[in-house]
């Protein structure tokens, strides 16, 4: 059984499609998709040999190794795009995800499912600048929030607002996303206060973010 974080990523993969899981580690996500016959085939990559061996073990134990291709490489470097419908990049920093996408010439041809652990604003800025559109969902597990981005090449990309850059393109009515936004609001309030006390002029930017986030949540910003 997948963790809530990986289950949220898996649920977005195209039914009957071919998934490529980048930085697969134990290959839990592709193994489950193959086991359920949600995908007929999967490609898995990892930059390190140890995790790729762990992936081989999981796929063998699940009885789906014959339907998987394992590649030791940086990101999607050695992956042939033919047939691939969905690329999942989960459990890595936002900057690493940007690096992986930057080096993939066919990134706009597939459905991207991205689950960054850090530097989310960096990833969102890059996606907006490079012609992608997306929605985000939030799951909570073990007292932590995880954000999953459902990304496609955009017909007409939308400009990224500061609120979207810092909180995300979330459904503000959804309870977990709303709890995440409340948590972000507290962080913005603290940061604005610290910057103001230190005399850093950018504090006003964070104050406006506090106002906007609070307004979206229907709260008092103070
Ligand atoms: C924390 S694990 C995440 C595993 C799984 N994707 C998940 O979300 O549970 C990160 C994995 O990404 C791999 N990794 C890091 N940078 C990578 C890159 N540039 N290309 C491919 N794999 C990478 C690491 O070796 C590690 O196995």
- 59-84 average pLDDT score: 98
Helices and strands in the chain: count of H runs, count of E runs: 8, 7
Q: Is 51 in the pocket of ligand 1 (CB under 6 A)?
A: yes
Atom of ligand 1 nearest to the CA of 74: 20
How many angstroms separate the CA atoms of 215 and 78, rounded? 46
How many angstroms separate the CA atoms of 45 and 144, rounded? 26
Atom of ligand 1 nearest to the CA of 51: 27
Phi-psi region of 214 (alpha: psi -120 to 50; beta: other; left: phi over 0): alpha
If you measure from the C-alpha of residue 74 to the centroid of ligand 1, how many angstroms do you get, rounded to a whole number?
Answer: 10
pLDDT band for position 122 (cuts 50, 70, 90): very high
179: Cβ contacts below 8 Å, ≥ 6 apart: 138, 140, 145
- 47-58 average pLDDT score: 98
Q: What is the pLDDT of residue 174?
A: 98
If you measure from the C-alpha of residue 98 to the centroid of ligand 1, how many angstroms do you get, rounded to a whole number?
Answer: 13
Proportion of the chain above pLDDT 90, given as a percent: 96
pLDDT band for position 51 (cuts 50, 70, 90): very high
Q: Which position has the higher pLDDT, 156 or 29? A: 29
If you measure from the C-alpha of residue 23 to the centroid of ligand 1, how many angstroms do you get, rounded to a whole number?
Answer: 3
Ligand 1 binding pocket mutation candidate from 58, 92, 102, 116 (most atoms within 8 A of CB) = 92
Question: In the predicted model, is pLDDT for residue 123 greater than 90?
Answer: yes
Q: Is 190 in the pocket of ligand 1 (CB under 6 A)?
A: no
Give the Å distances, CA to CA, from 1 to 9, 31, 88, 141: 13, 10, 18, 14
pLDDT tens for residues 154-191? Answer: 988 789 999 999 999 999 999 999 999 999 999 999 99
């Amino acid at each position: 059984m997948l963790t809530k974080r990986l289950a949220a990523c898996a649920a977005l993969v195209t039914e009957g499609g071919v998934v490529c899981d980048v930085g697969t580690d134990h290959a839990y996500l592709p193994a489950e998709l193959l086991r359920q016959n949600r995908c007929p085939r999967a490609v898995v990559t990892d930059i390190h040999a140890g995790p790729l061996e762990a992936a081989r073990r999981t796929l063998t134990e699940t009885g789906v190794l014959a339907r998987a291709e394992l590649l030791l490489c940086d990101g999607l470097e050695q992956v042939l795009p033919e047939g691939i419908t969905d690329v999942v990049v989960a459990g890595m920093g936002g900057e690493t995800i940007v690096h992986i996408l930057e080096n993939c010439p066919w990134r706009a041809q597939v459905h991207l499912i991205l689950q960054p652990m850090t530097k989310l604003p960096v990833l969102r800025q890059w996606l907006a600048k490079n012609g992608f559109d997306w929605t985000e969902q939030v799951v909570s597990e073990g007292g932590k929030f995880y954000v999953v981005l459902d990304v496609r090449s955009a017909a007409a990309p939308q400009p990224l607002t500061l609120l979207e850059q810092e909180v995300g393109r979330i459904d503000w009515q959804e309870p977990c996303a709303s709890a995440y936004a409340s948590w972000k609001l507290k962080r913005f309030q603290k940061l604005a206060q610290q910057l103001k006390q230190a005399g850093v002029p950018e504090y006003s930017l964070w104050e406006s973010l506090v106002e906007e986030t609070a307004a979206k949540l229907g709260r008092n910003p103070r």
